[in-house]
Amino acid sequence: MKNVVFKFGGASIKDADAIKNVASIVLQQQPKLVVVSAIAKTTNAFENLVNQHIKSESISEQLKKIHHFHSEIINSLFDGEENEATENLNKIIQYCEQYLAHNKETDYDEVYDQIIPAGELLSSKILGSYLQSLNVNLTWLDARKILRTNNRFRKAEPKIDESKTNLNSSCNENSIHLIQGFIGGTDQNLMTTIGREGSDYSAALFASFLDADELVVWKDVDGVLNADPRYFNDPELIPSLNYKEAIELSYYGATIIHPKTIQPLAQKNIPLSVRSFQNTDNKGTTINNSGKIAPSTSIYIYKPNQLLITLESEDLSFFGEDKMQQIYHHLFEHKLEVNLVQNSAVNCSICVDNDPQKTESLIESLSSDYKLLYNEHLELLTVRQYQEQLLEGLIQKKEIVIEQKTRSTVKLLLKSKTA
């Protein structure tokens, strides 16, 4: 086996044909470890299940939909023949049903983490069963026992040394290993997740633990692009980046790379390749110590559904370090990260992703200490290596709420102009 780690996201295993394509890549290239996400849209489906349970609504139909979706994929892969994937599907769905039926826990985040990992468990069991049907020498690993974390549900922090020991003691020389991304487990054997879209981070940690020669993240695009094709026309491929620039892009919200992915790789100088599972001959983007981006290439990072919260002291006292520390503590407690912050003498504005499960309680807790206003339905556009003449075309029919500029970066908080 090559000492290489592959990570496949949900889009790469969205149906039976996609899983067969992933299997062919694994068979051809023989990586040491394969990290897999939940099948496309499965995490959303399990989130709906949790939300229905929290609202005391019936969950039976949602469970049937999840079971049927995965069962269809399994039947297509195995042509209706007996297989372990079907048995595992039934067990995992039964676990979800029984846990929610007997659950007395009211903390949303804890309930979330006892259900959501089912998506990764299902995808890895299905892919694993299919690879074994092709006579691949495969070892299935349980990330809940490998990646040990604290109990900060939905934002769990890995225990690095313990997790490294667990992974290395579980791997052998002559096998391809398959493990789940995004999920871990506590010392009390509760399941945890390490942040939405955290499978890339899992893969980077595993690559670091194994002193891998390379981490390859397989995406539905040809590599790192200078703009998200969902929002911008004709984005350009960036052939190479250095670690620092990649960290900057992820910090500003580039969805192609999870914000924490780069650090474990940079510490050991492990290159990261972002490649297309649809165009495997394309070399994609390489991220390492020496990568460079052309000075003329602007990079556009767009984040919709933003919430701006403006706070003012009840007594008009200054917004100094003590108040900012208090505000950031509130954000930490609600597991929210700041996308933009701006303050004056007596008020402070913070912009965050508008996740109702988190922002509603954040607003409530901040309201006890501050006068508070908020604006929803905003958009955040960050441009690295911006060019003034290009910005005007990007913000037509938009009103600038906040603008921040440095030598290399501009951040624009925007809202649509009313007619």
CB 304 within 8 A of CB 245: no
Q: Which two tokens stand for residue 123?
A: 């995808």
Predicted local distance difference test score (pLDDT) of residue 59 = 96
Strands 340-343 and 347-353: antiparallel
pLDDT of residue 230: 85
- Residue pLDDT, tens place only, 332-368: 999 899 999 998 888 999 999 999 889 999 999 999 8
**Adjacent-strand bridge partners of 413:** 380, 402
pLDDT band at 112 (very low <50, low <70, confident <90, very high): very high
* Residue 394 reports pLDDT greater than 80: no
Average per-residue pLDDT in the chain? Answer: 93
Q: What is the mean pLDDT of residues 260-273?
A: 94
Nearest-CA neighbor of 108 among 119, 116, 96, 120?
Answer: 116
Can you list the domains of the chain with their CATH numbers?
2-219 (3.40.1160.10), 299-416 (3.30.2130.10)
- Per-residue model confidence (pLDDT) at position 418: 67
pLDDT at residue number 314: 81
* Other residues' Cβ atoms within 10 Å of the Cβ of residue 130: 23
Quick one: 233 exposed, middle or buried, by C-beta within 10 A (0-12, 13-18, 19+)? exposed
Residues in the chain, how many? 419
Nearest alpha-carbon partner for 358 in 108, 126, 187, 171: 108
Residue 61, phi then psi, degrees to nearest 5 = -65, -40
Main-chain dihedrals φ then ψ at residue 258, nearest 5 degrees:
-65, 140
**Rounded distance between C-alpha atoms, residue 39 and residue 119, angstroms:** 7
Query: Is the pLDDT reported for residue 419 higher than 60?
Result: no
Q: pLDDT > 90: what percent of the chain?
A: 75
302-327 tens-digit pLDDT? 999 999 999 998 888 888 888 899 99
The pLDDT tens digits for 174-227 are 999 999 999 999 999 999 999 877 899 999 999 999 999 999 999 998 999 888
Please check the confidence at residue 295 and state whether its pLDDT lies above 90. Answer: no
